[in-house]
Amino acid sequence: MNVPRTPDSSLTRREFVQGTLAAGAALVVPSQLLWTPAMGAPAIIPSERQRPVLPNGVQLGDPLPDRGLLWARADRPARLHVEWDTTDRFRNVRRVQSVVTSAESAFTTHLDLTDLPDGQDIWYRARYENEQSPGVFSEPITGTFRTAPRKPRSVRLAWSGDMVGQGWGIDESRGGIRMYEALRRAEPDVFVHSGDNIYADQPLLPEVKLDDGSVWRNLVTDGKRKVAETLDEYRGAFAYNLLDANAQRFGASVPIISQWDDHEVVDNWFHDLVLENDPRYTEKRVRVLAERAQQAFFEFLPIRRHETDSKRIYRKFSYGPMLELFVVDLRSHRGANSGNKQSERSPASAMFGDEQLTWLSRSLRESQAVWKIVACDMPIGLVVPDRMRNGERNFEAIANAEGGAPLGRELEVAQLLRELQQASVQNVVWITADVHYAAAHHYAPERAQFTQFDAFWEFVAGPMHSGTFGPNALDATFGPEVRFASTAPKPNRPPSDDLQFYGTLDVDARTRALTAGIWDVTGKRLWQVEVPAGEPSR
């Protein structure tokens, strides 16, 4: 990190996050440095040939009070060496190193930094050592993050989703993926990526003509020339996003908690889907594609594997007595998309699935945090249609457009809401993305067909860097009301229109109130609401 300072000076985390040079010089690398097994060392000056290269920077994820998971990736077999301290002076460093990377995991590293102090700014330096040439190191990358607190402290959580969709890739002449820089400047304690980390089913064209006659020029790599089918192609799609300089600066300075949705695999997927009518795919079995996509998902994102279930994505994170986050997975356990009108719960009507729904209900009821945030990869009340099958309109999300008593996937939500009301669980807020516009929905039993629940909020953000759409219709089953929506004047508006959105949740340790905000990519706040703790949501 090339930040001018005297030997005795020390940067605060705020100064690091705000500094335009923060991690940038070390992280910006030639855009062609994608992973391929046969590539070997980059063709640069001979004295540098043996230095490992980090083509995708670093990421810090799944933060806990005493640990954080550091992700990095080399261009060859190498061992990651990390030094960390509680100041940028690095005068009392602790050191940890990884096992050697290999092609079997695309030369990625997941290194847990443990025994960290809670609620503390942590500074780290990361570099790879060439396994074949011991003592030869990559250029170091310096980053910072804050561990989760155990004591009461104000917390800011940010979220969004939907990355590089609808043909909008990295146009460096337009600033690249600007949302990452907007989020970095927002200085959240943690960022939740609400799904569609990639669009594996949507290749990029070199140029896209815009309405004003100008041209959007995509950086195109092998990983984005066609739909992803092989493991290497899924890896290439994940690697593509991490070529962006904004993404690399962001990854070095803000902890990330990731979940997935459909486009990590293919549009509107479920396990038994077969792509019979899509000529782009030679592998038609979505179950096979999903296995490959999930491996790349775990390889390229900073996710800590579950102790007993290495493929489990749903999990929770405590931010002390003020906030606890519950990350759910509406892909892995769902039944097939259908008309969504089953009158009783069954595997066919599943969205969460029995095990996950039981975990979520129990975890919310046991939580001692003031605010309980459910990060859900799809909205509750918005109607998200799928294609027609067997002469019947199918649905992709929870709502079925009937607006009556709960049916199909709505039955799981009804059960959860009923159990939370019976246990007097307060201050539950839902956050989501998926629909490519921003909105705030208030759910209340007096407007609903199903009434056995306490009123609550659902906040929608996104897209991060995709086409903007909306609005979707609302289903009346749980009584939603639109309090805010920022949609596109016509479908698939490009990121250059600035209709890209993220949300924030700020919990004040003194008042215990939660303030939700919706922001655009320029950093402009479009809407906010303050919700007092311990009172009925209004």
Q: For the segment 144-153, what is each residue's pLDDT rounded down to a tens digit?
A: 999 999 999 9
Q: Where in the chain is the domain with CATH 3.60.21.70?
A: 155-531
Alpha-carbon distance values, 272 to 4, 179, 196, 377, 486 (Å): 56, 35, 20, 20, 35
Is-contact 142 26, C-beta < 8 A?
yes
Least confident of 12-21, 98-107, 127-136, 468-477: 12-21
Joined together, the tokens standing for residue 137 give: 């190191």
Residue type, 99: V
Is-contact 411 349, C-beta < 8 A?
yes
With 80 as the cut, is the pLDDT of residue 33 above it? no
Is-contact 474 480, C-beta < 8 A?
yes
Average pLDDT over residues 439-448: 98
Vertex 185: Cα angle to 184 and 190 (nearest 5): 45
Q: Where in the chain is the domain with CATH 2.60.40.380?
A: 13-146
Give me the pLDDT at residue 391, please: 87
Least confident of 396-405, 430-439, 529-538: 529-538
- Percent of the chain, pLDDT > 90? 89
Give me the pLDDT at residue 535, please: 58
With 70 as the cut, is the pLDDT of residue 352 above it? yes
13-146: CATH topology:
Immunoglobulin-like (2.60.40)
For residue range 173-210, what is the model confidence (pLDDT) as tens digits?
A: 999 999 999 999 999 999 999 999 999 999 999 999 99
Is-contact 147 112, C-beta < 8 A?
no
Question: How many Å apart are CA 491 and CA 463, to the nearest integer?
Answer: 13
Question: How many Å apart are CA 351 and CA 328, to the nearest integer?
Answer: 10
- Percent of the chain, pLDDT > 70? 91
For residue range 209-257, what is the model confidence (pLDDT) as tens digits?
A: 999 999 999 999 999 999 999 999 999 999 999 999 999 999 999 999 9
* Cis ω before 471 (30° cut-off from 0): yes
Q: What are the φ and ψ backbone dihedral angles of 253, each rounded to 5 degrees?
A: -130, -10
Give me the pLDDT at residue 4, please: 32
Q: What is the mean pLDDT of the chain?
A: 92
- The structure's pTM equals 0.91
Question: How many Å apart are CA 21 and CA 338, to the nearest integer?
Answer: 50
For residue range 38-72, what is the model confidence (pLDDT) as tens digits?
A: 334 444 443 578 999 999 999 999 999 999 999 99
For residue range 499-520, what is the model confidence (pLDDT) as tens digits?
A: 999 999 999 999 999 999 999 9
Burial class (CB in 10 A: 0-12, 13-18, 19+), 150: middle
For residue range 368-388, what is the model confidence (pLDDT) as tens digits?
A: 999 999 999 999 999 999 998
Q: Yes or no: is domain 155-531 CATH 3.60.21.70?
A: yes
Alpha helices in 13-64 (DSSP H): 13-18, 24-27
Alpha-carbon distance values, 129 to 46, 47, 52, 54, 156 (Å): 17, 15, 7, 11, 36
For residue range 462-481, what is the model confidence (pLDDT) as tens digits?
A: 999 999 999 999 999 999 99
Question: How many Å apart are CA 111 and CA 81, to the nearest integer?
Answer: 10
Joined together, the tokens standing for residue 60 give: 């810090």
Count of C-beta atoms within a 10 Å radius of residue 13:
17
Give me the pLDDT at residue 169, please: 98
End-to-end CA distance of the chain: 47
Bin 91: left if φ > 0, else alpha if -120 < ψ < 50, else beta. alpha
Is-contact 111 60, C-beta < 8 A?
no
Question: How many Å apart are CA 107 and CA 72, to the nearest integer?
Answer: 9
Joined together, the tokens standing for residue 195 give: 């799904």
For residue range 299-335, what is the model confidence (pLDDT) as tens digits?
A: 999 999 999 999 999 999 999 999 999 999 999 999 9
Position of tokens 């050697």?
100
